[in-house]
């Protein structure tokens, strides 16, 4: 499948409805994804990005339906990660020698590192322009959003920002335009993508979005490298990115726990009762981290103003699903979020200390000394948990 997105630009990527894991097994993609590649036809024909290697044959066939491969004059690689550059080596084999590849300086390193080819690289910097006939491309670097090599490319006249991973979503849709799809699904997937991929670089994201705004470029389309193309919601997704990049939180408190014999679960639920008593407006969500998709859970943490994290003690530490989600959250550089800890124990309340230390290392502000219960919590322990939940809600 290919389709026209404007007078001179064609989408020629791959919609992958069956993908459920990405970055190896690291990232869940419940709604699939798309790998977006774009062909610009002008006096010079330009291909922006390719697709992931497994789809190379389909990609080349689709591309051939639009153009003779040897008529591609320039390649732009906005980002060298293999999900966008995987088909490049095969494609290059069909092109005349010396077809230039425009990418950032780090993009050269990344492409050489992945493919060990000495192609005709043309490193570009922010503000560099490339005349392609009646239109012009302008390159805008976006380092660490989310790789050092990331850049975006702006097409004049048709006013399209090819934003690569920025503003992307792992979201398969045959519609491929933002205004045609379910808005809840779209914004959830955009947020999940942001929380799990862009959030570690939130400060850079905020600066980059502000820089893009200051350039005052008219934008008719934002064409990311994954998911749908933004057509109607351009202003909204830009404003939303700014909010997400600035210590984002909603009125949500998330309780995350794991449990062996339900003692810590009972504590979690009593803490929720206490939170509700103190604040019946805040959305309360309770997740067993061993039974919840970790990337969905990260998205919930991203939305939360505070989290309560609980685990029983195991071998002087905490249960692995809890340790793992804190570790995952630590990498996201989340700011301005509070946390509290709880858990049951048999003979050593080491869990409280371990959880507190881990959350503090992950840059959460840990409130209070935690609440613990030995063996199976009795009524008085659960009442203590209710009180603990009330105090935590009041501290937020
Ligand atoms: Fe979609 Fe960072 O590659």
Angle at 58 between CA 224 and CA 79, to 5 degrees: 35
The pLDDT value recorded for residue 381 is 98
Burial of 111 (0-12, 13-18, 19+ CB in 10 A): buried
Please compute the mean of the pLDDT values over residues 274-285 and round it to a whole number. 97
Q: What is the pLDDT of residues 66-86, one digit of tens each?
A: 999 999 999 999 999 999 999
Residue located nearest, by CA, to atom 3 of ligand 1: 81
Is 193 one of the annotated active-site residues of the chain?
A: yes
Q: How confident is the model at residue 374 (pLDDT cuts 50, 70, 90)?
A: very high
From 165, 258, 328, 384, the catalytic residue = 165
Mean pLDDT of the chain: 97
* C-alpha 227 to ligand 1 mean position (Å): 12
The pLDDT value recorded for residue 41 is 98
The pLDDT value recorded for residue 192 is 98
Q: How confident is the model at residue 278 (pLDDT cuts 50, 70, 90)?
A: very high
Chain position carrying tokens 């398969």: 172
Q: How confident is the model at residue 29 (pLDDT cuts 50, 70, 90)?
A: very high
The pLDDT value recorded for residue 385 is 98
Dihedral sign computed on CA atoms, order 310, 311, 317, 320: negative
Q: How confident is the model at residue 255 (pLDDT cuts 50, 70, 90)?
A: very high
From 16, 49, 73, 83, the catalytic residue = 83
Q: How confident is the model at residue 121 (pLDDT cuts 50, 70, 90)?
A: very high
- What backbone torsions phi and psi does residue 313 show, to the nearest 5 degrees? -75, 135
From 154, 193, 194, 257, the catalytic residue = 193
The pLDDT value recorded for residue 309 is 98
Q: What is the pLDDT of residues 38-59, one digit of tens each?
A: 999 999 999 999 999 999 999 9
The pLDDT value recorded for residue 201 is 95
In the chain, pLDDT over 90 holds for what percent of residues? 99
Q: What is the pLDDT of residues 182-221, one digit of tens each?
A: 999 999 999 999 999 999 999 999 999 999 999 999 999 9
The pLDDT value recorded for residue 144 is 94
Cα dihedral angle (237, 239, 243, 249), rounded to 10 degrees?
A: -60
* C-alpha 311 to ligand 1 mean position (Å): 34
- Stated as kind and residue range, the H or E segment containing 116 is none
In the chain, pLDDT over 70 holds for what percent of residues? 100
Pairing outcome for strands 27-28 and 21-22? antiparallel
The pLDDT value recorded for residue 376 is 97
Nearest to 134 by CA among 210, 44, 235, 233: 44
* C-alpha 84 to ligand 1 mean position (Å): 7
The pLDDT value recorded for residue 152 is 98
Is 81 one of the annotated active-site residues of the chain?
A: yes
The pLDDT value recorded for residue 338 is 98
Angle at 234 between CA 231 and CA 236, to 5 degrees: 130
Q: How confident is the model at residue 35 (pLDDT cuts 50, 70, 90)?
A: very high
The pLDDT value recorded for residue 236 is 97
Q: Is 226 in the pocket of ligand 1 (CB under 6 A)?
A: yes
Please compute the mean of the pLDDT values over residues 293-302 and round it to a whole number. 98
From 16, 42, 49, 81, the catalytic residue = 81
Q: Is 170 in the pocket of ligand 1 (CB under 6 A)?
A: no
Q: What is the pLDDT of residues 137-178, one digit of tens each?
A: 999 999 999 999 999 999 999 999 999 999 999 999 999 999
Specify the pTM.
Answer: 0.96
* C-alpha 126 to ligand 1 mean position (Å): 20
The pLDDT value recorded for residue 238 is 96
The pLDDT value recorded for residue 178 is 98
DSSP state of 96: P
Nearest atom, ligand 1, residue 165 CA: 1
The pLDDT value recorded for residue 185 is 98
Mapped onto helix, strand or coil, the DSSP state of residue 270 is helix
Please compute the mean of the pLDDT values over residues 332-344 and round it to a whole number. 95
The pLDDT value recorded for residue 281 is 97
Contact 273, 166 (CB under 8 A): no
Chain position carrying tokens 């800890």: 341
Please compute the mean of the pLDDT values over residues 228-255 and round it to a whole number. 97
């Amino acid at each position: 499948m290919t389709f026209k997105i404007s007078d001179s630009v064609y989408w020629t990527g791959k919609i992958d409805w069956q993908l459920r894991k990405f970055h190896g097994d690291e990232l869940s993609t419940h709604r699939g994804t798309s790998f977006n590649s774009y062909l610009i036809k002008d006096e010079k024909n330009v291909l922006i990005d390719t697709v992931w290697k497994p789809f190379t044959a389909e990609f080349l066939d689709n591309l051939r339906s639009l153009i003779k491969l040897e008529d591609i004059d320039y390649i732009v690689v906005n980002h060298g990660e293999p999900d966008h550059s995987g088909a490049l080596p095969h494609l290059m084999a069909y092109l005349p020698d010396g077809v230039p590849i425009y990418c950032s300086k780090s993009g050269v390193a990344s492409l050489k590192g992945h493919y060990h080819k000495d192609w005709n690289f043309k490193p570009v910097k922010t503000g560099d322009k490339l005349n392609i006939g009646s239109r012009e491309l302008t390159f805008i670097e976006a380092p660490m959003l989310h790789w050092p090599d990331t850049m975006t490319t702006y097409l004049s006249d048709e006013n399209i920002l090819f934003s690569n991973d920025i503003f992307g979503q792992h979201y398969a849709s045959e519609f491929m335009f933002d205004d045609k799809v379910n808005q809840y699904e779209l914004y959830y997937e955009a947020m999940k993508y942001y929380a799990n991929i862009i959030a570690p670089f939130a400060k850079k994201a905020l600066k980059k979005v502000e820089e893009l705004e200051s350039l005052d470029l008219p934008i008719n389309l934002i064409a990311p490298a994954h998911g749908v193309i933004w057509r109607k919601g351009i202003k909204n997704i830009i404003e939303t990115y700014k909010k997400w990049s600035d210590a984002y939180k909603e009125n949500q408190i998330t309780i995350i726990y794991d449990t062996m014999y339900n003692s810590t679960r009972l504590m979690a639920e009593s803490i929720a009762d206490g939170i509700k008593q103190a604040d019946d407006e805040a959305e309360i969500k309770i997740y067993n981290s061993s039974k919840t998709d970790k990337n969905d859970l990260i998205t919930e943490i991203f939305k939360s103003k505070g989290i309560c994290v609980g685990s029983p003690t195991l071998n002087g530490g905490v249960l692995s699903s809890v340790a793992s989600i804190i570790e995952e959250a630590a990498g996201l550089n989340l700011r301005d979020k509070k946390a509290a800890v709880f858990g049951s124990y048999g003979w050593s309340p080491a869990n409280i200390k371990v959880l507190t230390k881990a959350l503090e290392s992950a840059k959460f502000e840990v409130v209070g000394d935690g609440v613990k219960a030995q063996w199976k919590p009795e009524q008085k322990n659960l009442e203590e948990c209710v009180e603990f939940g009330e105090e935590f809600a009041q501290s937020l």
